[in-house]
Amino acid sequence: MIKELGAALILAATLAISGCNKSNSPASPQKPAPVRQRWLEGYPSRLIKAHNDYATKIRTGRRSLTGFESVISTTRTWDPRKTITVAFQGGTPELRSQIVDAVTPWMQASAAKFDFKSGGVFREWTNSDTAYTAHVRIAFLAGENGGYWSAVGRDSVNPPLFKPNEPSMNFEGFTDSLPSDYKAVVLHEFGHALGFEHEHQNPNANCEAEFRWQDDPGYAQTQDSYKQFIPDSSGRRPGIYTRLEGPLNNWSQDQIDFNLRKLAFQADLLSTAIDKNSIMLYHFDPWMYVDPNTAKCYTPQENTILSQGDTEAVAKEYPQDTVVAKATVNVQKNALRQMLDNPGLTADIRSHYSKQLHSLVQLGK
């Protein structure tokens, strides 16, 4: 979810060094230039507050459902019989086409359908929109709302979370220089758009216990030329909180917890064992773990394609068979009715779920 995230690691540029020694004396060893840290994918702070406020009103307890090698929210998934529309703000036609191509594996594995064009041209949204131009609204923002992140499923058209004139997905820097792993980034974010959560936040996994949250005992805060926190002169290392509160992420502790801690069980959450090969589980560097050699959530390299578990899960949630699709919609309707039984829902949240349920019922006739 979320600069989403998240749960995910995006490779930033590294600093190259060059030079020559013009003297006749032997060259002295040069200290390696510092390497910029990687960006963690995750939600900006503004969206985290909105989600935390929202979550306290919809949490109704644990529901035990099996059969999915993933973490997916049934009230946030789309009707598998409908097309999910997408609009852009910014980006060249070439860049937009590259994003479209990168999304294809999700559609090849299921009945999920993303539509990026209207009348043969790419659909666009603006900051003056008063109605939702599209279900998914892509931007390329930097600053407070920058990074790589996406709304989870139908959150993108849920007014308390995302208004019609706001992006629901962001790819910072894509308009300047397309990263080498952009296809994996796009696959990950569109996984969120389909309703998938981060694998490292799977309530049934134990990634949270495997992360090294705190500094090594006695660590003396030490920064490199990028102001990044690095091991001190005695080799003691900064922990996750210290590292991510500094550059590049500059996150608060609340942001770190939101993007890395495990999800709370909710009535609409489907989850089973962690899928280490999932596109929804980004590679986290070894320093983030107490012991990467034994950590079940550690992967030695980034997942860049859909795993078998991903393809099976999306095929189950967005089935191509019409009979199975009807059964999937019935699961969604039951989950929505369960959510609507929550007396703590505010009027706007209740209205959102009621409209969603009404739409599913009408289409099912």
pTM over 0.75: yes
Please, which pLDDT band fits residue 66 given cuts at 50, 70 and 90? very low
H or E segment and range at residue 149: strand 148-150
DSSP states of 174-198 as a string? TTT---TTHHHHHHHHHHHHTTB--
Q: Is residue 256 domain-resident? A: yes
DSSP single-letter state for residue 341: T
Residue-range definition of the domain harbouring residue 346: 37-363
The answer on pLDDT for 298 being more than 70 is: yes
**First CA to last CA distance, the chain:** 34
CATH number of the domain that residue 332 is part of? 3.40.390.10
Residue 116: predicted pLDDT: 98
Q: Is residue 30 domain-resident? A: no
- Rounded distance between C-alpha atoms, residue 136 and residue 33, angstroms: 41
Segment 325-334 long-range contacts (CB within 8 Å, at least 24 positions apart)? 325/80, 325/81, 325/111, 326/364, 328/80, 329/79, 329/80, 329/81, 329/360, 329/363, 329/364, 331/74, 332/74, 332/75, 332/77, 332/79, 332/360, 333/357, 333/360, 333/361, 333/364
Please, which pLDDT band fits residue 21 given cuts at 50, 70 and 90? very low
Q: Is residue 203 domain-resident? A: yes
Q: Is residue 1 domain-resident? A: no
Largest CA distance in the chain: 87
Which stretch of 8-17, 51-60, 87-96 has the lowest confidence by average pLDDT? 8-17
C-alpha distance from residue 276 to each of 41, 263, 282, 304, 307 (Å): 17, 17, 9, 12, 9
Stretch 128-156: mean pLDDT: 94
Q: Is residue 20 domain-resident? A: no
H or E segment and range at residue 95: helix 93-108
Total domains present in the chain: 1
Q: Is residue 275 domain-resident? A: yes
- Rounded distance between C-alpha atoms, residue 135 and residue 151, angstroms: 10
